[in-house]
Structure 1
Amino acid sequence: MYLSIDIGGTLIKPALMDRSGQIFKKESRPISRKSIDEFDNILFQVIDYYFSTDIRGISVSCPGAVDTNTGTIYNGGAFPFQHNVNLKSKLEHRYGVEVAIENDGRCAALAELWLGSVQGKRDAVVLVLGSGVGGGIILDGKLRHGGNLLSGEMSYIMDGFGEESQKATFFGFTGSAVEMIKRINTLKQEKELLDGKKAFKYINSGDEEANNIFDEFCQSIGTQILNLQYILDPEIIAIGGGISAQQILIERIKLAIEELKRVNPMHVAKPNVICCEFQNDANLYGALYNLLSNVDKLLKKTNEVL
């Protein structure tokens, strides 16, 4: 058994999994964003609970830029106190097993590479639509991290300029599924502003105001998909995140791309846009794949020495 842990902005989700990716048990608990001591206390409680089982390794998906070689987290995302923290070393010293840490967006990409929509592809991009836009870039069959651990950080891509000529708008906002849902629910005076089901009820029913907001959102996604196609020329661009469960999403993104190409006839790119296979459990699978890859590399080096 391996313990895979997905650390999100508000919840921590542990799961017992085997090497094939089968999940035997999983749950979710609130995680603290107040301090590193409270964060560690909850994390240790979770691992202690499962560690009575024969755990051979711990895999972690978390926000922030992660140096997977050292296990150090930078710019901890929702957990700024994790900046410069070596979580891998901390857990290995406490539990005495192999530990692997990876960024949450890249874990989603690894899940698709391992068992999902881009399995067997040499070049692919995975976009995870949530509060911002995360994901990962796969080139030559391998996940890219980049020289500064910024590869795949889609939220920082500039998406035009605002009223002030030097003040840019960013893809992390214009491509935010959470913001799109919030705008629709605010307009419709819904009490639960982050309720995606209510927002898509308006979209699917043909509500004009909701669809205007949704079309604007899809146009932003489509614009960056075309940009990514020209820069990386991937075989597939897979769309993930909870919103990807809505069938209309991929349909409307494709329509937005075709409209952009119609209005701008110089376009020659033909991006292959599909839906990710993994949604809520993607980070658990990707984190485990990251750990198994590290374990296999260590075994190979050991065998070469022997």
Structure 2
Amino acid sequence: MKNVSLSYNERRFIELIFRQKSISRSEISEQLELTGSSATRIAARLMEIGLIEDEVERLGAMGQPRRPIAIAPGKVFSAGINFALNTIDVAIIDLSGKVVSVRREGLKRSSPEAAAECANQLLERMLGEARISKDDVIGAGISVPANFSDHHGTVLPNALFSEYDNVDLDAVFGKIMGLEMTIENDGACAALGEYYFAEGHRHEIFFLYHLGHGFNGGVMLNGRLYRGAHGNSCVTGVLFPYGEPRPTGTDLVNELAKHGMVLDDVADLANVPADAEPVVSAWIERAAGQLEQAVRIATGFFDPNVIVIGGRLPSDLMQRLTARIAWKTLPGPSRGLKVAPVMASKLGADGGAVGAACVPFFARYFPGSIENGHNNYSNGRRSSAGE
């Protein structure tokens, strides 16, 4: 099943079922504008290779059973890796739309090889506990706070991750983990996770701002992750130059340090001491003001249905920050235009790992990764295990 190639319409079939969880053949035919015979033929092939299955749903004691189609659970899995300076998050998701497990573990500041070893050991334990064979994992996505360089597979990371500069991370992780790896920046991963595992798929145009070590973004346009010419779209940190106040987790860590409250990393913001509240409140007020302008800019460029604020901040801080923006009536980007509604991420700090795990599914099974007949992930950002 790992190496099965799907047609464009088969991918559309899979994605629609993934979104709906359960749907009849007639509904699929109508929504995808396929003939009944085409839908039946596609369903038969996907059942033959084990990706989907029939469900029986009774309408009443005397009624005929309705036979919707669902993705077969427990057949295909994907892993996601997201790391900070001193922690690593690993997620396992099922193609049927279930988050199987998300786990965080401490990570010593070390080389990419050591990070890959830590991720592999954690994943192996998680698979064992869930009784999942590694052979059923089609691959792993890596969420990195980085942009892509012009060299094959290498990245230009956030300044805090200098050890990863111009390292072919997908090759390093692939060799150690024995999986096909797909690397993506953290903003794009967060957007994918929110789109497929929260409410993002209900909107045609969906934009996300990612607050973590840096300030990044991701956008889904009609089910397609917009990546740009080199995979570097939505580098929204350009709005807030380095060395100046920024609406990022790193910036809050630095503010706390100025007041004698030293944290090692953004991940430690979940354990901020109670006496830090005045500093946190002041930061939220300032960061919200910056995000108000960012929201107006995203509205002007993309006209999205919704803008989600996500990232590595703890959920309570994210909720406070988003609420500070949402209650205000912001001026639109132009005369007569309103800003898009703003909401906090539903996945919270798990969004990075869950979103990274979505990348292999997106690249292999969903039509949004296909543009003009070519896979957007065949551009040097993907490697096979051991290459």
User: Same fold judged by TM-score > 0.5?
Assistant: yes
Q: 1:186 to 1:171 in 2, by over 3 A?
A: closer
SS at match of 2:79: strand
1:249 corresponds to 2:321: yes
Quick check: 1:58–1:99 contact (8 Å CA) kept in 2? Answer: yes
SS at match of 1:269: coil
Match of 1:294 among 363, 374, 385: 363
SS at match of 2:82: strand
Q: Distance in 1 between matches of 2:353 and 2:303?
A: 28
Deviation per residue, 1:245-303 (Å, 9 max, x gap): 34332221135563xx39x99573322111111112112221222111223269x99xx
Match of 1:153 in 2: 235
Q: Distance in 2 between matches of 1:236 and 1:139?
A: 12
Give the 5 Å matches for 1:217-232. 217-232=287-302
Q: Distance in 1 between matches of 2:272 and 2:110?
A: 31
Q: Distance in 1 between matches of 2:280 and 2:101?
A: 39
Match of 2:19 in 1: none
Q: 1:81 to 1:184 in 2, by over 3 A?
A: closer
SS at match of 1:28: strand
Q: Distance in 2 between matches of 1:171 and 1:236?
A: 30
SS at match of 1:57: strand
Q: 1:3 to 1:270 in 2, by over 3 A?
A: closer
Quick check: 2:252–2:280 contact (8 Å CA) kept in 1? Answer: no
Match of 1:130 in 2: 212
- For structure 2, the residue ranges without an aligned partner over 5 or more in a row are 1-76, 374-387
Q: Distance in 1 between matches of 2:179 and 2:253?
A: 42
Match of 1:7 in 2: 83
Match of 2:20 in 1: none
What is the alpha-carbon root mean square deviation over aligned residues? 3.8
User: Kindly, what percent of the aligned residue pairs are identical?
Assistant: 18
Q: Distance in 1 between matches of 2:174 and 2:210?
A: 30
Deviation per residue, 1:182-203 (Å, 9 max, x gap): 536755x656696566588876
Match of 1:29 among 99, 102, 105: 105
Match of 2:153 in 1: 72
Match of 1:166 in 2: none
Report how many aligned residue pairs link the two structures. 280
How far is the alpha carbon of 1:50 from its aligned partner? 5.5
Q: Is the radius of gyration larger for structure 1 or structure 2?
A: 2
Aligned AA for 1:8? A
How far is the alpha carbon of 1:240 from its aligned partner? 1.2
- For structure 1, the residue ranges without an aligned partner over 5 or more in a row are 160-168, 302-306
1:100 corresponds to 2:182: yes
Give the 5 Å matches for 1:161-180. 169=241, 173-180=245-252
Q: Distance in 1 between matches of 2:182 and 2:226?
A: 16
Q: 1:200 to 1:230 in 2, by over 3 A?
A: farther
Match of 2:138 in 1: 57
Does 232-241 or 46-55 show the bigger shift? Answer: 46-55
Q: 1:226 to 1:191 in 2, by over 3 A?
A: same
Aligned AA for 1:230? G
1:183 corresponds to 2:255: yes
Match of 2:343 in 1: 274
Q: 1:109 to 1:172 in 2, by over 3 A?
A: farther
TM-score when scaled to structure 2?
Answer: 0.60
Deviation per residue, 1:38-69 (Å, 9 max, x gap): 334434444555676412223123322259xx
Q: 1:190 to 1:297 in 2, by over 3 A?
A: closer
How far is the alpha carbon of 1:110 from its aligned partner? 0.3
Match of 1:121 in 2: 203
Q: Distance in 2 between matches of 1:244 and 1:149?
A: 28
Match of 1:109 in 2: 191
Aligned AA for 2:133? D
Q: 1:201 to 1:270 in 2, by over 3 A?
A: farther
How far is the alpha carbon of 1:12 from its aligned partner? 1.6
Q: 1:295 to 1:212 in 2, by over 3 A?
A: closer
Aligned AA for 2:340? P
Quick check: 2:116–2:176 contact (8 Å CA) kept in 1? Answer: no
Match of 1:143 in 2: 225
Q: Distance in 2 between matches of 1:89 and 1:210?
A: 40
